[in-house]
Amino acid sequence: MKNKEMTPIFFAKQSDFDQMIKKYSVLICIIISVILLVIATLVYPGGSLLDKNSIGFDWSKNFISNLFAAKAINGSENTSRIWAIIGMAFHAVGYGVFFINMSKKIPAKHAAIILTYIGVANILFDFLIATPLHDIMVTISSTLSLIGLFYITVFVLKTKLHLFKFSCIICLLTFYYTLYLFGSGNWRLLAIMQKISFISSMLLVLGLEYFTKQEDFKQIKPGGQKIQATNR
């Protein structure tokens, strides 16, 4: 009899745990990703594009992509690789789930479908950044993320979320400038801007995920127009 009484309690607790994991999945993935990437930087042997004989990972000179190679730039076995790859996997899942969750908050069906596809695709392409396909995957993943953030920004601008309006615009400008530096080959400044862009997008993702809700977008019609209040 005691076991029968405990069974519903067990399933109730299990259900609560599953709900908590689902609710905080983006936060959990990003925290684990950051921890693993930081560990990767701590065990990185050394070498950068500016100084092949440097020791360790220099945040102002090394790129995150240096952590994924089989060999460090100084020629040593890259002990940071496994940490960085697993960290990137969590990063990919976290961002993918974020775009999917945002698609459920936005009332425009067309935009919601696009964000869902971007979320699913990002899980794959973000992870492939950690492979030898790095360069082309950075291009694809960056393009998808920019499209997703652009769609989100358009709808945020139609809400009363004034802080997020500013945050979205700053994040997009930072993203665009980082891509410009990549295209122009300004590696010294790019190494710094890569980290700034990474941190700004991460903070924006967490902010939009946990401090916005479906009700914030309800005044927007499915066609994308803002609903005007009328007095009767």
pLDDT over threshold 80, residue 41: yes
- Does residue 220 or residue 198 have the better pLDDT? 198
Dump pLDDT digits (tens) for 125-156.
776 776 676 667 777 777 888 899 999 999 99
pLDDT over threshold 70, residue 223: no
pLDDT over threshold 80, residue 202: yes
Domain boundaries, the chain: 26-217
The span from the CA of 231 to the CA of 184, in Å, is 55
Q: What is the per-residue pLDDT for 222?
A: 57
Claim: this prediction has a pTM higher than 0.75? yes
Dump pLDDT digits (tens) for 166-201.
999 999 999 999 989 988 888 889 999 999 999 999
pLDDT band at 49 (very low <50, low <70, confident <90, very high): confident
Q: What is the mean pLDDT of residues 78-92?
A: 91
Q: What is the per-residue pLDDT for 112?
A: 92
Q: What is the per-residue pLDDT for 168?
A: 96
To the nearest whole percent, how much of the chain has pLDDT over 90? 59
